[in-house]
Amino acid sequence: MVNARNTTRLLSMPVLWMGVVQLCFGLLSLFLFRDRVAAAFLEPAGVMLLASLLITVATSKTDLSKVSFRDALMFATLTWIVTGLLGGFPIMLVTDVSFTDAVFESISALTTTGATILTGLDNMPKSFLLYRQFLQWMGGLGVVIFVVAVLPMLNVGGMRLLKAETPGPVKDDRLTPRIANTAHYLWFIYLLITFLCALAYYFGGMSPYDAIAHSFTTVSTGGFSTHDASMWYFQSHTLLAVSNVFMLLGAISFALHFRVLHSTTPRLYWKDEETRVFLYLVAGLTLILTFYLHQEGRYPDWEESLSFSAFHVISFITSTGYGAADLSSWPAVTAMFLVFCAYLGGCAGSTAGGNKIIRDIITFKVIRREIRQILHPQAVLSLRYQGDEVDNDIRDAVMGFMSFAAGSTLVITLMLMGTGLDFWSSFTAVAACINVLGPGFGQVGSNFQPVSDIGIWILSGAMILGRLEYFTVLALFVPAFWRY
């Protein structure tokens, strides 16, 4: 049985956290940016801080050491829902969009999706834009802790593969110490990479404000920008290259970053099968797109084709979703190609979305083994990852994940088409949300305003579903979850 008191007590934490964040941005607006939107942050912040205080007092006798797996599962989904709802208030107050749209924008930020219903970013208050960027950064950190600490324990989508990867000395099998331990080791790495990214952007030519704002959404592979023109606002191939490096870092396992830093052995990146395949894929897909764009004669020289190709392949495969060219002027097949990259996904244990390279590898190996099995019907063929035999339950979990991801795309696309959106827009909108990618094409090419309210709620759900790797959310919907 889920303990309602435990859950409520746990939920007071994200409420408190969101209150503190909005309080800080209220103060930033008031004293640093002086952009007259402080009230939009301070009013909701006051209510949240009060509410979290009341909850804490009311549930003070809760023993949090008794938090069960089910409480944790419930907590994960509810956290993204609750912070999504609460994070929307300043968005609604500053921009006058509807509650539905504000919550979509907020969930899009916290899940590091980066799909937006806003236009005219360049003229918006600076504190508000930074708030949006910061939500992505915070969401990214939450995701890293969640995927490194929680998913391997539950073997969600086969992630038991990564259980031994948890950083730090404590290999505890209980959830609370594991989360605390992971958070303890990873927040510093996350902060460090963000800092280096901001520094690099600054030296690459961005203003300090833009450098910080974009570092937040690069490392979290979130993809929000403070400009409508996204990363091409700066018109600098140097900045695209900087962005490439840090998007890639954001899409590689943070547990692996920790081990590399701890042992000062960069070669560990290359020794990791998933990271190696990921980098090979990025290189291969970039080459394909470069050749295609070059023979289409879209850009004057090879260098430019290569720069734009690399940036977009990396932006999409890491599910960041930055743009640097008017993609709608590219042939439709390139859009489809980039969506395909987004489905491949980044590495597990990172902020990236999509199916994840580790699952692509296992799936590829399962299929390859099936083909070989046909030629040797009696043979017992092995299936190894990183040198070790992959267990049945992991294969089942991975393949279940892949099939569910494909099925969800089909079903949610069908639902969106039911709201009146055309097929191409529906499909790319769904791909943008379940892969926490961000940009869509067709009618949703510049923003998600053309989607109906029902469609917006469906997509909001899709972002949470994809971000929590489907099964975390699905577990709440089986009757067994609510029994004994």
**Residue (128 or 337) nearer to its own copies, CB:** 337
Binding site for K ion (CB under 5 A): 114, 223, 319, 321, 438
114 binds, among K ion, its own copies, none (CB under 5 to 8 A by kind): K ion
The reply to whether 466 sits in an annotated binding site is no
Q: Which does 438 bind (CB under 5 to 8 A by kind): its own copies, K ion, none?
A: K ion
Contacted by 370, from its own copies, K ion, none: CB < 5 to 8 Å by type: its own copies
Beta carbon of residue 208, minimum distance to its own copies (angstroms, whole number): 42
Which tokens hold the place of 218? 């690069």
Cα distance between residue 177 and residue 432, in whole Å: 34
Number of residues that bind its own copies (CB under 8 A): 57
Q: What DSSP assignment string belongs to 431-479?
A: HHHHTT-----GGGSS-STTS-HHHHHHHHHHHHHHHTTTHHHHGGGSH
Task: Say which residues have a Cβ less than 8 Å from residue 198's Cβ, sequence separation at least 6.
Answer: 211, 212, 214, 215
CB-wise, 91 or 143, nearer to K ion? 143
Nearest to 87 by CA among 475, 466, 429, 464: 464
The residue (of 236 and 452) whose beta carbon lies closer to its own copies is: 452
From the list K ion, its own copies, none, partner contacted by residue 197 (C-beta under 5 to 8 A by kind): none
**For residue 324, which of 243, 249, 245, 233 has the smallest C-alpha distance?**
233
Look at residue 57 and give the partner it binds from K ion, its own copies, none, a contact being a CB closer than 5 to 8 Å depending on partner kind: none
Residue 404 partner contact from K ion, its own copies, none using kind-dependent CB cut-offs of 5 to 8 Å: its own copies
Classify 29 as helix, strand or coil.
helix
Distance CA 409, CA 403 (A): 10
Determine if residue 112 is labeled as part of a ligand binding site: yes
**Which of 9, 70, 132, 312 is close enough to bind its own copies by CB under 8 A?**
70
H-assigned helices in 204-272: 208-219, 237-250, 254-263, 267-271
Contact pattern from residue 152 through residue 171 relative to its own copies, giving x for each residue in contact according to CB under 8 A and a dash for the rest: -xxxxx--------------
Pairwise CA distance, residues 416 & 406, whole Å: 16
Question: Contact 32/99 with Cβ under 8 angstroms?
Answer: no
175 binds its own copies (CB under 8 A): no
Handedness of CA 35, 113, 188, 83 (dihedral sign): positive
**Nearer Cβ to K ion (136/426):** 136
Minimum CB separation of residue 288 from its own copies in Å reads: 11
Residue 80, both tokens: 């993204």
156 contact, one of K ion, its own copies, none, CB 5-8 Å limit per kind: its own copies
**Integer Cα distance of 87 and 98 in angstroms:** 14
Using the rule CB under 8 A, is 372 a contact of its own copies?
yes
Pattern 16-55, its own copies, x by CB under 8 A: ----------------------------------------
Q: Is 343 in the site for its own copies (CB under 8 A)?
A: yes
Q: Which does 366 bind (CB under 5 to 8 A by kind): K ion, its own copies, none?
A: its own copies
Q: Is 414 annotated as a binding residue?
A: no
Q: How far is the CB of 353 from K ion (least distance, A)?
A: 7
Instruction: Give residues 345-364 in contact with its own copies (rule: CB under 8 A).
Output: 363
Rounded to whole angstroms, the Cα distance separating 4 from 305 reads 55
**Toward its own copies, which CB reaches closer, 396 or 453?**
396
Site for its own copies in 442-481 (CB under 8 A): 471-472, 474-475, 477-478, 480-481
Contact 346, 272 (CB under 8 A): no
Query: Is residue 385 within a helix (H) or strand (E), and if so which, with residue range?
Result: strand 384-385
332 binds its own copies (CB under 8 A): yes
User: x/- site string to its own copies, residues 374 to 413, per CB under 8 A?
Assistant: xxxx--------------xx-xxx-xxxxxx-x---xx-x
Rounded to an integer, what distance in angstroms lies between the CA atom of residue 84 and that of residue 446?
Answer: 22
Q: Residue 7, annotated ligand binder? A: no
Which alpha helices (H) appear in 112-150, and where do they start and end? 126-145
Q: Is the Cβ of residue 438 or residue 442 nearer to K ion in the bound state?
A: 438
Token pair recorded at residue 405? 């991801």
Residue 413 binds: one of K ion, its own copies, none (C-beta under 5 to 8 A by kind): its own copies
Q: 330, 316, 325, 318: which is closest to 428 by C-alpha?
A: 316
Type of residue numbered 119: T
DSSP element (H, E) containing 117: none
Task: Read off the DSSP letter of residue 264.
Answer: T
Q: Which residues are annotated as a binding site for K(+)?
A: 112-113, 222, 320, 437
Contacts to its own copies by CB under 8 A: 69-70, 73, 153-157, 332-333, 336-337, 340, 343, 363, 366-377, 392-393, 395-397, 399-404, 406, 410-411, 413-414, 417-418, 422-424, 427, 471-472, 474-475, 477-478, 480-481
